Amino acid sequence: MTAPLAVLGTAISAAGAIVLAFLGAFETRVTLTPTGTIPVTIGLRADDLSTMVAVMVTLVALAIQVYSVGYMKHDVRYPAFAALVGLFTLAMLTVVLAADLLMLYVGWEIMGVCSYFLIGHHWEKPHATAAAIKSFLMTRFGDVGFLFGIFVLGVAAGSFRITDVIAAVPAMTSGTVLTGALLLLVGVVGKAAQFPLHSWLPDAMAGPAPVSALIHAATMVAAGAYVVALLYPVFLSAPLALDVLAVVAVISMIGAALAALVTDDLKRVLAYSTISQLSVMFAALAVGGRTQAIAHLLSHAAFKALLFLCSGAVIIAVGSNLMTRMGGLRRRMPLSFLTMTVGFAALAGIPPTAGFFSKDAVVASAEHHWFVFVALLLTVGLTAAYTTRAWLRTFFGSGPDVREAPKLMTVPLVLLAVVALLLGFAGLWFDELRPELLSAVLSVVLAGVGVAAVYLVWRRDPAKDPVDSLGRLRGVFGSAFGTDTLYERTIARGVMRVADEVVRVDDSVVGRTVRGTGRGTRSLGGLLRRAQNGNAQFYVTALLAGVVVIAVGVVILR
């Protein structure tokens, strides 16, 4: 009963989002309880950007719900899973369609807690709970900044309504805008898993594959890019914030691509690639390419959802995440092979897939900004390289004898593959998204170099991992340049020390006060208990004495 309900609910919301997309821009709102100062409103705000993203979110969520019915067939906790995926989708829609920044923040936080529950879906496994806690803490760390960014902008604008805030940006002092933009960026970096808050995302692979698809394609990490695009005027009037965003994006895209190149876990490869692809969106935003960033967001949603769902099909068939256990799946899982090839091609930016068009638009938008441009081109080459490696190691060579996934899982795969293949052509309607010759040729050549390099290394010995030749660098890349260890040695240790101290103070000061209050009350009660001797005459005497005292007191003090 759960499965039809979950699918039907998501389908209805998808239909609603599509209707919304045809309605045109509008905004509704009701003022929540009067706050005395800045009013908090609840409202729906639909424009081209938000309805497009809403359609994307609901359609990907629908594909994931259908797929999950097959994927989670033997899981006793499927109902809870389906409900949480639904809540997650709802929270993302809240972020996308909110008319008020505080309402947006509500959706933002619900996503955080849903990701915590979903990543920790297999809570009997310690690494899943550890990953859930890690993602929760790291994104929450960023959310503190995000919330304060909202406060700064809302107080400066005198309203939390998004349209009001954007309208008020020109009147704000540059310091206010910069503070607000940088604080928002902290939250965006956390949710979108950019450097230096990137390390929760690869660990989040402990959740089931549909969850990864949801988090990576449609919801949580995309919310960061969406919010920057939504509040773009704020960032445009704070150029320093855009520069910071550019630096963060460049570090994240190259670092994550290098990490993806050497990782052996198929889902972790995709996770690192998500970090890298999100950085591509942020790079576009940093150089002024808002449309390009959104185009890449949409096409990335299609092909990344496809890739994760395919990897789920492969993993469930093979029974392992590790690519060393895979190989040769081309003949045994032809449909998964075909769809995942489309996904990989889109990720690598091979024409004519959606990934090619959107990534090329991003590269073209960065032409005047050499720093980002070079980083983007480098990333294009690296992306093609790690994509080829994953593709070759999963589907070619020799491997286990497995069967194709059930139909319920392959249908969403085929549909997503069609979208990933054709979505790019929709971009031809927009001026900003048409491929430019220089960037298109450059990125295709670089992607080809990446593919060819890995292929040549692989062909020498198909049984071996092509990145074995990297030697010691492999370990460095694989640990994402040791950031986790660094955090553990510095931040985690410091926090632990502070926490120990807090526990000690809590016990010695707070606890002792509480226990002392109890003990004091008891001893005071013991004193009073002596008066209760069971002699009725004594009680009456005390009563009379009391009456006399009160009467005298009243007379004297009147």
Q: Which is nearer to other proteins, 460 or 530 (CB)?
A: 530
Which residue lies nearer to other proteins by CB, 319 or 534? 534
Please say which residue, 485 or 541, places its beta carbon nearer to other proteins. Answer: 541
* Nearer of residues 76 and 528 to other proteins, judged by Cβ: 528
Residue 535 touches other proteins, criterion: CB under 8 A: yes
Structure tokens at 142: 């960023």
Residue 46, SS3 per DSSP: strand
Q: How far is the CB of 546 from other proteins (least distance, A)?
A: 13
CB of 116 to other proteins, least distance (A): 52
Q: Which of 33, 398, 523, 537 binds other proteins (CB under 8 A)?
A: 537
Nearer to other proteins, 1 or 528 (CB): 528
Binding part of the chain for other proteins, among 202-210, 252-260, 506-514, 534-542 by CB under 8 A, reads 534-542
- Cβ 534 to other proteins shortest distance, Å: 3
Q: Does 407 bind other proteins (CB under 8 A)?
A: no
Alpha helices of 396-511 — where are they, by DSSP H? 407-426, 437-460, 473-478, 483-487, 493-505
> Of all residues in the chain, what percent are helix, strand and coil, respectively (each to 5)?
80, 5, 15
Q: Nearest approach, Cβ of 547 to other proteins (angstroms)?
A: 11
Distances (CA, A) of 278 to 71, 245, 249: 27, 12, 8
CB of 117 to other proteins, least distance (A): 53
Alpha carbon 361 to chain centroid, angstroms:
24
Residue type, 290: R
If 0-12 CB within 10 Å is exposed, 13-18 middle and 19+ buried, where does residue 363 land?
buried
Among 482, 541, 551, 553, binds other proteins (CB under 8 A): 541
Indicate the residue among 471 and 526 with the shorter CB distance to other proteins.
Answer: 526
| Residues whose CB falls within 8 Å of the CB of residue 104, separated by 6 or more in sequence, listed in order | 94, 95, 98, 150, 162, 227
Say how far apart CA 78 and CA 73 lie, in whole Å: 8
- The yes or no reply on residue 526 touching other proteins (CB under 8 A) is yes
CB atoms under 10 Å from CB of 497, counted, come to 10
Stretch that binds other proteins, among 124-132, 218-226, 337-345, 532-540 (CB under 8 A): 532-540
Q: CA-to-CA distance for 326 and 394, rounded, in angstroms?
A: 5
The string of DSSP letters for 119-149 reads HTSSTTSHHHHHHHHHHHHHHHHHHHHHHHH
536 touches other proteins (CB under 8 A): yes
Can you spell out the DSSP letters for 323-367? GGG---HHHHSHHHHHHHHHHHHHHHT-TTSHHHHHHHHHHHHTT
SS3 category, 32: coil
Query: How many Å apart are CA 492 and CA 6, to the nearest integer?
Result: 40
Among 33, 37, 523, 532, binds other proteins (CB under 8 A): 532
CB of 144 to other proteins, least distance (A): 54
Q: Which is nearer to other proteins, 469 or 541 (CB)?
A: 541
Q: How many residues bind other proteins (CB under 8 A)?
A: 11
> What minimum distance in Å lies between the beta carbon of 556 and other proteins?
21
Indicate which single residue of 460, 534, 557, 558 sits in contact with other proteins (rule: CB under 8 A).
534
User: CB of residue 557 vs other proteins: minimum separation in angstroms?
Assistant: 24
Find the shortest distance in angstroms from Cβ 122 to other proteins. Answer: 56
Kindly state whether residue 555 participates in binding other proteins, applying the rule CB under 8 A.
no
- With contacts defined by CB under 8 A, name the span among 339-347, 393-401, 476-484, 539-547 that binds other proteins: 539-547
Which residue among 422, 544, 549, 551 contacts other proteins (CB under 8 A)? 544
557: contact with other proteins by CB under 8 A: no
Burial of 508 (0-12, 13-18, 19+ CB in 10 A): exposed
540 counts as binding other proteins under rule CB under 8 A = yes
Q: Which is nearer to other proteins, 173 or 533 (CB)?
A: 533
Distance in angstroms (rounded) separating the CA atoms of residues 267 and 280: 20
Strand-pairing partners, residue 161, are 100
Q: Which residues bind to other proteins, rule: CB under 8 A?
A: 526, 529, 532-537, 540-541, 544
